[in-house]
Chain A
Amino acid sequence: MHATVSSNAPTTARAEEAARNARDTRNDRLFGGLLKACALLVLVSLIGAAASTLWLGRDAFATFGWGFLTSSEWDPSNNRYGALVPVMGTVTTALIALIFAVPVSFGIALFLTEIAPSWLRGPVSSAIELLAGIPSIIYGMWGLFIFAPFVATTIKPWLMNNFSADPPDGQVSWLVTHVPFIAKFFSSEYPFFGAGVLTAGLVLAVMIIPFISSVMREVFQTVPTRLKESAYALGSSTWEVVWDIVVPYTRTAVIGGIFLGLGRALGETMAVAFVLGNTFKFTPSILETGSSIASTIANQFGEAEGLQKSALMAIAFLLFVVTFIVLMIARLMLRRLASKEGS
């Protein structure tokens, strides 16, 4: 009797343990599978979306071939389409947005994590989150009614007076006569008209600053206080702490935040449609009007039929391609940065 008990007790315990282990393994596997499905869903929907735009745009690709990428024509009444101007407008406006948004976001995030008194951090952080929550149509209307007129009366005439070959005040500046090509980037047929590539880029910059700066703020906060305090103890200035400790520690995440902002800038629709001028002229000037992929689709989708609809789908597919290429370049840059550090 005693023997049976003594021999039975460990067996039951072992059996119970084995059952629990089996259950745990099963649950873990289930949970893992569920998570995998969630992650794969992103991939599947992305590929699905890209593939369906390619499928619906097949007529345009078949009709125009490679010429679709190099033609600056967009002529619905004669059914001739080219993607050059919208693709270029998309890339240029997004680049301008990044050039302005990245330094400002960097400043905001550093100020909030390193310098700002604690009573100020809360309100400024909430303000950033509020800015991120404003719908893009409101940025568009602000751009159209308030910002574009400001560009027209102040920024654009100043830029043209200094950098264009045909300035409104009639005096060609020293820069233009001595620096070749610069005038090409700052010319415009309409000196006192606000909408254009630069305006759209600036409006986009305002729109993506909240995204980039809040990501940067979050990651700057993850830098261990220990590290920073040691550097201060060694006599570093705030600038040195930021540049030598905070930035290297968070580089990957910071660049991730920048690309989140870039993604939004590349795909922004409504705001750009209002302030870009919506013309299909090929020009290197940032003061001229242009069009972007998203704004072209938003403008023409409602009334498009047949080949025009197909061409719109085709440029939607190109937006996937452009975004993909941009992200690839970013990855490569990151890898090179990492290898330079020798880590």
Chain B
Amino acid sequence: MSAQATDITGAGSSFVYPVLSKWSATYAEKTGNKLNYQSVGSGAGIAQIKEGTIDFGASDAPMSAEDLAKFGLGQFPAVVGGIVPIVNLQGVAAGQLKLDGALLADIYLGKIARWSDPRIAALNPGVKIPDVKVTVVHRSDGSGTSFNFTNYLSKVSPEWASKVKFGTAVEWPAGVGGKGNEGVSQYVRQIPGSIGYVEYAYAKKNAIAYTQLQNAAGKWIEPSATTFAAAAATADWKNAKDFNLIMTNAPGEQAWPITATTWIIMYKKSKNASHTKVAFDFFKWSMENGQSQAASLDYVALPDTLVKQIEAYWAAEYKN
């Protein structure tokens, strides 16, 4: 118990906001140190940490090595979550429909007109799919969810990689845009034959039919905490400088292909030593003790191997 409570501030990704606020409540009870987190979006979080107005930033996309070096920043992953395709097809239940990456990319490129397409049928023998028009739903707001989703499509489809590329917002070749997870899922609910993508926690809470995906190892995978953890564990973190690695299409046998993480970004040479100390203490505590709370919100805490790497990174890069 510290004699005097220190309040630390952070800003950025809305993806981690629920779990950060849960962690910070418990952490404040234990230590008296409060965390004040503004869920303003990854881009704004990065901008604020560059200006040094906050103790840490959180971003769904990693910062580039040059930018990190230029501003004297370091970054490390904090928590893992999954992004799932959702569909509105009458008679098709959650987890029934199977899609592979190339097909998903072609759907989002607008190349698949109807659900009766032979490529969809070939992957789904025995599933009765209604013959309706395919309507693509995407996020209209810039978001880490779109960043990871389009990053995955870029990895599995050369055409996507050259034409559309990836980012928090892209020029979508087809479909309509809903605002936020709730906008996308509401549009998907309203349009028969539509397909969208949302955070897994959102699909699960609202009982929306998600699909299976084929991962890099060729296995059919259902989204779940286990398969997200498998992706986090098998991603090649060792060779990623500053953890600059996007986890999509991870190689593991059990890995869910669209698994995402949020990076915490902090100054290597701290501007305010006491705040930085509390911030590190908070993240160390959350990585070691926060698993169950993360799980209750359908996030996955980092695998032990990764936590060890992060602690080694701290020791090596953050010398205060």
Contacts and interface: CB of A to CB of B under 8 A. Distances in A.
Interface in B177-235: 177-179, 182-183, 186-187, 190-192
A193 B42 contact: no
Interface string B31-55: 0000000001111101100000000
Contact of A300 (B141, B150, B178): B141
B142 interface: yes
Q: Most chain-B Cβ atoms within 10 A of its Cβ — which of A77, A277, A304?
A: A77
Contacts of A277: 140, 176-177
A305 B166 CA distance: 14
B175 interface: yes
A195 B187 contact: yes
Nearest to B41: A302
Contact of B175 (A78, A152, A279): A279
Nearest to B150: A77
Contacts of B43: 302-305
Interface string B136-155: 00001111000000100000
Contact of A76 (B169, B175, B177, B183): B169
Contact of B192 (A149, A192, A195, A291): A192
B170 A77 contact: yes
Contacts of B47: 305
A232 interface: no
Contact of A149 (B140, B171, B190): B190
A144 B150 CA distance: 25
Contacts of A149: 190
A285 interface: no
B140 A278 contact: yes
A280 B172 CA distance: 9
Contact of B179 (A77, A80, A278): A278
A194 B179 CA distance: 14
Contacts of A291: 140
Contacts of A194: 190
Contact of B165 (A77, A148, A295, A301): A77
A193 B164 contact: no
Interface string B76-119: 00000000000000000000000000000000000000000000
A213 interface: no
Nearest to A81: B171
B254 interface: no
A250 interface: no
Interface in A95-153: 144-145, 148-149, 152
Contacts of B182: 144
Contacts of B171: 73-78, 80, 280
B303 interface: no
Contacts of B276: none
Contact of B176 (A195, A300, A301): A195
Interface in A142-190: 144-145, 148-149, 152, 189-190
A192 B88 CA distance: 13
B183 A144 contact: yes
Contacts of A301: 142
B262 interface: no
The B interface, classified by DSSP as helix, strand, loop or mixed, is: loop
A87 B296 CA distance: 44
Interface string B154-168: 000000000011111
A299 interface: yes
Contacts, number: 99
A139 B187 CA distance: 17
Given A76-B171, A77-B165, A193 B177 contact: no
A76 B183 CA distance: 21
B248 interface: no
Contacts of B150: 77
A304 B146 CA distance: 13
Contact of B172 (A78, A279, A299): A279
A310 interface: no
Contacts of A145: 186
Nearest to A288: B176
Contacts of A93: none
Nearest to B194: A193
Given A144-B186, A303-B143, A304-B43, A75 B178 contact: no
Given A289-B176, A303-B169, A274 B142 contact: no
A148 B179 contact: no
A273 B142 contact: no
B170 A75 contact: yes
A295 B177 CA distance: 12
A193 B133 CA distance: 12
A74 B41 CA distance: 20
A76 B43 CA distance: 14
A105 to B, nearest CB: 29
Contact of A303 (B135, B142, B191, B192): B142
A193 B176 contact: yes
Contacts of B170: 75-77
A236 B188 CA distance: 57
For B166, B172, B192, which residue has the most chain A Cβ atoms within 10 angstroms?
Answer: B172
B7 to A, nearest CB: 24
Most buried by B among A80, A193, A280, A289: A193
Interface string A215-231: 00000000000000000
Interface of B: 40-44, 46-47, 135, 140-143, 150, 164-172, 175-179, 182-183, 186-187, 190-192
Interface of A: 73-78, 80, 144-145, 148-149, 152, 189-190, 192-195, 273-274, 277-280, 289, 291, 295, 298-305, 308
6 contacts: A77-B164, A78-B165, A78-B171, A278-B179, A299-B179, A303-B41
Given A77-B150, A303-B168, 11 more contacts: A75-B170, A76-B167, A77-B164, A145-B186, A192-B190, A193-B190, A195-B176, A291-B140, A299-B141, A300-B142, A304-B169
- Sorted nearest first, the 3 A-B pairs with minimum C-beta distance are A303-B142, A302-B41, A278-B140
